[in-house]
Amino acid sequence: MIHASFDGGAREAVATDVFQYDTGQTLALSGLPGDMEAAAVEVHYGFDGDEQAETRAARYDRRTALWLADVPDIYLRRACTVRAHVYAIRSQSQACTLYRASFTPIARPAPSTEVTPAQNDAWAELIIQVNAAIAGADAAASRATAAAAAIQESADAWETRLQAVEARVPGNMVQEIARMRLSVPAEGWTQSATGMWEKTMSAAGTIANSQTQRVRYGVAGSQIGKVMLAGCRVDKDGTLTLICLTQPQAAFELDVSVEAVVKAGL
């Protein structure tokens, strides 16, 4: 039991000899009138700086002339000053704070069964970091999805242009002008601003900004289904830039076919 005495009509009292981790305690207030002219009396507990308090009902023991209220264990697990406000509720529209007691649990090592405040703080910080990592991963996934959609849109636009060329000039045909297998190492990938992973390889026959050429590609060998290849583009003649949703963890083989629209019979 934690005892605070309001002597000589004082409105504030300090309780001492309270130890940290002494849970399951009752606050006993002496020197207060048994009748506070209230329909109900509560004790509101809080640490210094708290914006909201924990509420416990107070009861008057006529035999000992003490007001008694349970103390939430949370206020006994930290060696910090606790304020206990005695709150009289007189009606639905009227209530007021009449007295205040305070106590500071004396610091001591935690029992082996207790989680210390420092451990609680570390766990809370870990949760914040995990949530931040999840939010970052979600943002990266959104960027990757948008980038993949942009790649598909570009490919669709190229296909439309190619079909227009074929339709405009009778006798045109699509011809394969180069075929190769590229050995793509696991090293040398860079992450773009959109969150995609890119790597530029040499690829004979490719032409940048061509209106009549397209590149077909596909992962070959043991890495099929493991490499998240989203697309390819030609930034410079004789090269092919590979674009992946995630960084490849192993080397892989890539089959490449370079095609172009040519006039039949040439």
**CA 229 → CA 36, 171, 242, 246, 255, distances in Å?**
76, 34, 7, 8, 12
Instruction: Using only the alpha carbons of the chain, give its radius of gyration.
Output: 38
Q: Which of 23, 25, 32, 29 is nearest to 1 (CA)?
A: 25
- CATH number, domain 2-111: 2.60.40
Question: Are 89 and 38 spatial neighbours (Cβ–Cβ below 8 Å)?
Answer: yes
Residue 115: left (phi > 0), alpha (psi -120 to 50), or beta? Answer: beta
Which residues have C-beta within 8 Å of that of residue 179, sequence separation ≥ 6? Answer: 255, 256, 257, 258
Q: Model confidence at 38, in pLDDT bands (50, 70, 90)?
A: confident
Joined together, the tokens standing for residue 137 give 């991963």
**Higher local confidence (pLDDT), 145 or 189:** 189
**Higher local confidence (pLDDT), 140 or 259:** 259
pLDDT at 66 over 90: yes
Pick the range with the lowest mean pLDDT from 46-60, 139-153, 162-176: 162-176
Identify the pLDDT of residue 141.
Answer: 64
Q: Tens digits of per-residue pLDDT, 88-104?
A: 999 888 999 999 999 99
Identify the pLDDT of residue 120.
Answer: 67
In terms of average pLDDT, the best of 34-43, 117-126, 235-244 is 235-244
Identify the pLDDT of residue 143.
Answer: 65
Question: Are 107 and 80 spatial neighbours (Cβ–Cβ below 8 Å)?
Answer: no
pLDDT at 171 over 60: no
Across 6-122, where does the E strand assignment appear?
12-15, 26-30, 40-47, 54-57, 59-61, 66-70, 82-91, 94-103
In terms of average pLDDT, the best of 122-126, 193-197, 210-214 is 193-197
Pick the range with the lowest mean pLDDT from 128-142, 151-165, 195-209: 151-165
Q: State the Cα–Cα distance between residues 204 and 39, nearest whole angstrom.
A: 91
Q: Which of 22, 87, 90, 92 is nearest to 53 (CA)?
A: 87
Question: Are 67 and 99 spatial neighbours (Cβ–Cβ below 8 Å)?
Answer: no
Percent of the chain surpassing pLDDT 70: 79
Per the prediction, the chain carries an average pLDDT of 85
Identify the pLDDT of residue 153.
Answer: 67
pLDDT at 156 over 80: no
Which residue spans of the chain are classified as CATH 2.60.40?
A: 2-111
